[in-house]
Structure 1
Amino acid sequence: MELSLHIVFLLCAAAVCVTCEQQPPSDEDWLELDTPQGPVRGRRDPDADHLYVFYNIPYVTTPTKENRYKPALPPPVWTEPFDAIDKGVICPQPNVMNNLVRQEDCLIANVFVPDTKRKKLSVLVYVHGGGFMGGYGDMLKAKNLLKTKDIIMVNFNYRVGIHGFLCLGTEDVPGNVGMKDQVALLRWVQKNIASYGGNPDDVTIAGYSAGSAAVDLLMISKSAEGLFHRVIPESGANLAPFSIQRNPLEIAKKYAKDKYNFTGGDDIYALEKFYKTAPIELLSADTFLDRTDATFLFSPCIERETEDEAFLTESPLSILKNGNYKKLPVLYGFAEKEGMWRLIAYDGFMNKMNEKFSDFLPPDLHFKSEEEKEAVADKIKKFYFGDKPVGNDQILKFIDYYSEITFSFSMLWAVKLYVESGHDQVYLYEYSFVDEETPLVPHTNVRGAEHCAQTYAVMDGKNPMEADESLLTPEHKEMKNIMRGIWHNFIKTGKPVPEGSSLPAWPATGANGAPYMSLGQKVELRHEPLLETRYRFWEDIYQKYYLEPIPPPARAPKPRTEL
């Protein structure tokens, strides 16, 4: 089965290489700015002369070694000019990319500054995807989006996998440091972005896949409140099964025992010591792509109430139901065939689905007994596959299943709760554009908009693997122009379509997922609820069987035997 690499790797984490600086640029290519950290020198982008790029800026001081699971420290300062060149630094993660430098000291930002004398430009902060266990800030490029010269973009690394999302609830491993890195980056933007020409009072956060779930979580976190003003989640919700660990302590214990033969039992501090002292290369080697439940184990968690600032101490469902968050304009949506991200596993999953479909249920469902679980699994299997066994002729149903359990249902559920809590600025879409160059789904004559297809439409290139846009079909070029226009309008105004546009008027959606914009071969506003039948099927199941996430339990003070 032939699939493009960006489907295979880490939920939108494109396996592309960073081209590090081979020789210093000439003096006229540098732009030096005075910032609160000290003087910073960026260079004109050799592939986009409308931009200066400042790479590798440490937005915090990264804790390392036995402190690796603690929140980051204040950023460094300097007096001599800092040459902000690309060094290919990424955080520890599975070794599937070349020419990149994996290291614990990895928390850097990249700032893309238009060549303009204008100041107080709108700021776009982009959060990368990768299933919360891989990826890096500069994985996808958005230089074409910035040709209007009225937006500054920031992308950045945050800690991923065990490194970022081990959650023990102890002083040294409180949890959610990957999300706290994102909050720290937003605070860095507030303090520093004016030096680069940006407006700290005009910040949009956007993210794709796990980055989408992340910005959706940032919107409801009190720790991030006031740090941004608009939100663009692209294919990933704060209610998605992969977005929140159900029981982080049990996950950490079981993984240490099953994967590394940890024998410390229920001793929380023995477990903590294991994770603090194990080589980071060992702890970041697993891709988790063999899991059947659409999760990657280590992701954000609910934290215990402590004296330190927590990222999240209440479940997203509870926050959405009570409406206790700042309601900002949101551009919210997903691609038609998100489940194509799982096609790489289809051959191996077919027989397993026929043998025990309950192994494929998402982990945010809970049942009173195995009999009840098997009965619900049988109901779900019949809803998608009927009475036929899962096989090659059912591959589109397989895509639908993974589309819904991973992305579309949770996003529509969040929309319903947003609107019911009084949030009247949610703009909903479904992206379904394909052209003759879009590969066929295996075993079919059907083309589909894959996971994060709308992100690729906004970003540079044909897809994450091919930067050249000159050979795109006219239809594809036009769709890229439309998508970049929608994103630009939203970043500038909080609305995706301005008055007088040639595009259809785009009102905010209602609790039933209507109206919504269909971004396909035609761009049209649709008034029927999006995916109504499938949404109602899953809504009924989740109302009966939803499993709320829990924080790690309180623990006795750590023994002082090491003094």
Structure 2
Amino acid sequence: MLVARRIVWAWIVFAGVCAGGAFESRLVQIDQGPIRGYQDAESGVFVFSSIPYATAPTGKDKYKAPLPPPKWQEPYEAVDKGIVCPQFKSPFFEGKSMQEDCLITSVYVPDTDQKNLPVVVYIHGSGFQVGYGDQVTPKHLAKKNLIAVTFNHRLGVHGFLCLGTPTVPGNAGLKDQLAVLRWVKRNIASFGGNPDDITLAGYSAGSASLDLLLLSPAAKGLFQKAIPESGANVAVFTMQQNPIEKAILHARRISNFSKVDDIEALEDFYTTESYDNLCSVFYLNEFFNSDVGFTPCIERSVGEEIIIDEVPLNILKSGNFPKIPLLYGFANMEGIFRMSLFNVYKDRMNSKFSDFLPADLTFENEKQKEEVAEFVKDFYFQGKEIEEDMPSMLNFVDFFTDTMFGYPALRSVELQRLAGNKNIYLYSYSFVDVGGNSLQYKDYTTDKGATHCAQSFAIFDYRNMLTGEFVDENTLSDEFKQMKEVMRQVWYNFIATGNPVPEGSNLPSWPPMGADWSPHMSLGNQIKLEGSLMLERGRFWDQIYQKYYSLPKPPSPPVRHIEL
């Protein structure tokens, strides 16, 4: 049971909302009507929670783009209502209100009368399958004199079923993200924010989402800087390779659905099935090949606004996207999040390593696939059997670090650089809290590095990894408190200026990335500028992806079943 809870936990990223006290209130007029938020007792930040930024469509339209939000005359009490979108139920969502109309946002405003403050909008992680906007909160970051925004979006089947039909066009969750960016653009000045100085940030799947929005013409001009944290637009888990195949697989998994050649029947199944059944399977660790279930897709034109209608790799190569400043990176041991599966995976990896090759690679035949698998296994495990020992475990971590997070990030920023982006600030986060309660599974990593999205957890208000409870940051080790302060200052600098280390800072100078992923900032127990990031491992995967990468495809044109 503990292993299962950890598997869910590694992806939902500390579900729960801080229940800090509130005293003073503030009334703000937005385009929907007046709203009242309250000051958080611990941080002093004013919090406006559970504001509807759009309305989720229902019935047969539930997979379409969001509708306009409600309006009101009397002040809307913007307090936490515990609303989360339909998703796989886990113990971490006990006490939450899981509901279809779930498109809400929270705004964190510092206690100041200043106007035109910089704004950061955060997209939550959790593999596109689970989670909610305030599963982590940015009160301490907002104290730096910026406005922070979090929000819910549709998830899993509800957010990313993609049939390519007018009823189920795909990417509803990304369209929610687009809707909240437009809401922020319209309303953030009322909170004291600058609608022309917005940074889009995200962690894990949220990072992959924003990396897609960077390439979308629909999102152009809605943000001016971006902070992708441990997730990339070309990652194996970001785009569905075959959306119709995935829809059929899921329908078969949760019911006795058998009309696999009838798009009308498939559409009818998904528009009438209950959310309890639709969300009854948790896919995040279901597949050896790092696929994660329902995720964004390449859309077909069905007469409505499209988020992504071209393969991200092709857009990056074309250079046809805005070249905005990026603070881009990942933790040095992202693969730690899969260590709870080590004993489940190791025997299969020894007998058939090819099952673990990323899902976005394709081969001419089984022989070629096995040859590539042996090549990869030799690179990471030096031809040795994978055993329950520290060398095997660390190599296991490196493999999943590279295939899911590290290499896709390096690939994406390299294509950005080649397209002319001269303002990419690359980093690797490796801080280990040797003095206290760290964000690593210490049983597996000793003192060697940081787990998936650890840099994001350093930015946000701190939660205990296993309980999900917020922790008084005064109780943290001196080393971790200092690291959190450094990280928040670096992030604030970038959000406010587009430069993580502006002139006059006491941190090492941080120039933009050039060739060979160099330089990069090592954000560890020591902060230092270093040369190439993961060069050997990055070039190793370059040679594989140049030969075997399989472009994600839009859903095939629907073939309607005709009764004779």
Segment drifting more, 381-390 vs 455-464: 455-464
Partner of 1:373: 369
Matched, 1:182 2:183: no
Contact 2:263 2:559 in 1 (8 A): no
Distance 1:475 1:319, change over 3 A: same
Contact 1:162 1:298 in 2 (8 A): yes
Aligned-partner SS, 2:50? strand
Distance 1:557 1:540 in 2: 41
Segment drifting more, 340-349 vs 386-395: 386-395
Partner of 2:40: 45
Structure-to-structure mapping, 1:453-532, within 5 angstroms = 453-461=454-462, 463=464, 465=468, 466-527=470-531, 529-532=532-535
Deviations 1:407-455 (A, max 9, x none): 0000001111110010111100001111323356435644421111111
Partner of 2:453: 452
Partner of 1:60: 54
Distance 1:21 1:76, change over 3 A: farther
Matched, 1:220 2:189: no
Structure-to-structure mapping, 1:208-247, within 5 angstroms = 208-247=203-242
Partner of 2:335: 339
Structure-to-structure mapping, 1:317-396, within 5 angstroms = 317-393=313-389, 394-396=392-394
Once the two structures are TM-superposed, the CA of residue 352 in structure 1 deviates from its matched residue by 1.1
Contact 1:20 1:87 in 2 (8 A): no
Distance 1:286 1:384 in 2: 32
Contact 2:56 2:66 in 1 (8 A): yes
Partner of 1:278: 273
Partner of 1:80: 74
Distance 2:538 2:288 in 1: 21
Once the two structures are TM-superposed, the CA of residue 459 in structure 1 deviates from its matched residue by 1.1
Contact 1:425 1:508 in 2 (8 A): yes
Partner of 2:310: 314
Once the two structures are TM-superposed, the CA of residue 14 in structure 1 deviates from its matched residue by 2.8
Segment drifting more, 177-186 vs 276-285: 276-285
Q: What is the identity, as a one-letter code, of the residue corresponding to 1:158?
A: H
Q: What is the identity, as a one-letter code, of the residue corresponding to 1:498?
A: P
Contact 1:12 1:208 in 2 (8 A): no
Distance 1:476 1:462, change over 3 A: farther
Matched, 1:294 2:297: no
Which of 507, 528, 553 matches 2:556? 553
Deviations 1:495-547 (A, max 9, x none): 100101111111110131001101112111112x2111111111100000000
Matched, 1:405 2:408: no
Once the two structures are TM-superposed, the CA of residue 371 in structure 1 deviates from its matched residue by 1.1
Distance 2:25 2:110 in 1: 13
Distance 1:284 1:71, change over 3 A: same
Distance 1:242 1:4 in 2: 20
Contact 1:56 1:110 in 2 (8 A): yes
Distance 1:469 1:387 in 2: 45
Matched, 1:93 2:96: no
Q: What is the identity, as a one-letter code, of the residue corresponding to 1:75?
A: P
Distance 1:36 1:559, change over 3 A: farther
Distance 1:475 1:459 in 2: 16
Matched, 1:269 2:264: yes
Once the two structures are TM-superposed, the CA of residue 315 in structure 1 deviates from its matched residue by 0.5
**Alignment RMSD (CA, Å):** 2.1
Once the two structures are TM-superposed, the CA of residue 15 in structure 1 deviates from its matched residue by 4.0
Distance 2:559 2:351 in 1: 44
Q: What is the identity, as a one-letter code, of the residue corresponding to 1:16?
A: A
Distance 1:366 1:297 in 2: 18
Once the two structures are TM-superposed, the CA of residue 490 in structure 1 deviates from its matched residue by 0.2
Once the two structures are TM-superposed, the CA of residue 248 in structure 1 deviates from its matched residue by 0.7
Aligned-partner SS, 1:442? helix
Q: What is the identity, as a one-letter code, of the residue corresponding to 1:430?
A: S
Distance 1:21 1:84, change over 3 A: farther
Distance 2:246 2:147 in 1: 39
Distance 1:558 1:326, change over 3 A: farther
Contact 2:432 2:525 in 1 (8 A): yes
Q: What is the identity, as a one-letter code, of the residue corresponding to 1:497?
A: V
Distance 1:130 1:481 in 2: 25
Aligned-partner SS, 1:419? helix
Contact 2:139 2:461 in 1 (8 A): yes
Partner of 1:260: 255
Contact 2:429 2:522 in 1 (8 A): yes
Q: What is the identity, as a one-letter code, of the residue corresponding to 1:518?
A: S
Distance 1:184 1:114 in 2: 24
Partner of 1:139: 135
Distance 2:398 2:233 in 1: 20
Matched, 1:34 2:29: yes
Distance 1:389 1:496, change over 3 A: same
Which of 415, 418, 421 matches 1:417? 415
Aligned-partner SS, 2:27? strand
Q: What is the identity, as a one-letter code, of the residue corresponding to 2:165?
A: T
Distance 2:246 2:181 in 1: 29
Q: What is the identity, as a one-letter code, of the residue corresponding to 2:461?
A: D
Contact 1:62 1:72 in 2 (8 A): yes
Deviations 1:319-369 (A, max 9, x none): 000111011000000001000010111111111111211111111000011
Which of 543, 548, 555 matches 2:546? 543
Distance 1:83 1:454 in 2: 33
Aligned-partner SS, 2:292? coil
Name the TM-score, length of structure 1 as normaliser: 0.94
Unaligned runs of 5+ in 1: none
Distance 1:89 1:480, change over 3 A: same
Contact 1:168 1:552 in 2 (8 A): yes
Once the two structures are TM-superposed, the CA of residue 37 in structure 1 deviates from its matched residue by 0.4
Partner of 1:433: 431
Distance 1:154 1:443 in 2: 35
Partner of 2:147: 152
Contact 1:57 1:109 in 2 (8 A): yes
Segment drifting more, 161-170 vs 353-362: 353-362
Distance 2:260 2:158 in 1: 22
Segment drifting more, 419-428 vs 60-69: 60-69
Contact 1:431 1:449 in 2 (8 A): yes
Contact 2:15 2:131 in 1 (8 A): no
Distance 1:500 1:2, change over 3 A: farther
